[in-house]
Structure 1
Amino acid sequence: MTPQHIVHRGIRIATLAAGDAIESHCAPGQTAIREQGDGWWLYFVDEDGKVDGYDSPFASHAEALWAAKAAAEFSAQ
């Protein structure tokens, strides 16, 4: 799967395949959604390149994308 990207409120959100490394596809300040065996995980890359994410997955890509867009809204304020 080729990573899919959107930009919401100036934040780039990448949808990655299970085997894709976040660090390879996302720069500082960007967000990643990655499907794994137990659901869709949401990750954030901070200004130092450190990756952090939520502690539980979302049931669907749509839910993860909604949460990523909500986080972008918050950071745009």
Structure 2
Amino acid sequence: MTPELIIHRGITIATLAASQSVDAHCAPGHTAIREQDDGWWLYFVDEDGTVDGYDSPFASHAEALWAAKAAAEFSAQ
């Protein structure tokens, strides 16, 4: 499966399947949303390739996408 990609404020946001790893499908500066058993997790790939994310999942893809877009708005400032 190919990740679904959108670009918001110059930030690439990828929606990944549970089986897809963030580090294999996202480049530095990208944001990833990945569904896991307990919800939708949001991850950020730093410029050095380090992956970091929130400490709890979102209940839906829409909520995770909203948060990813909000983070992109903040980064664009």
Length-normalised TM-score, structure 1:
0.98
Where does the alignment leave 5 or more consecutive residues of structure 2 unmatched? none
Q: CA deviation at 1:2?
A: 2.5
Q: Which residue of 2 aligns with 1:32?
A: 32
Identical positions, percent: 83
Where does the alignment leave 5 or more consecutive residues of structure 1 unmatched? none
Is residue 2:57 matched to residue 1:53?
A: no
Q: Which residue of 2 aligns with 1:74?
A: 74
Q: CA deviation at 1:65?
A: 0.1
Q: Which runs of 4+ in 1 moved over 4 A?
A: none
Length-normalised TM-score, structure 2:
0.98
Q: Which residue of 2 aligns with 1:65?
A: 65
Helix, strand or coil at the partner of 2:75: helix
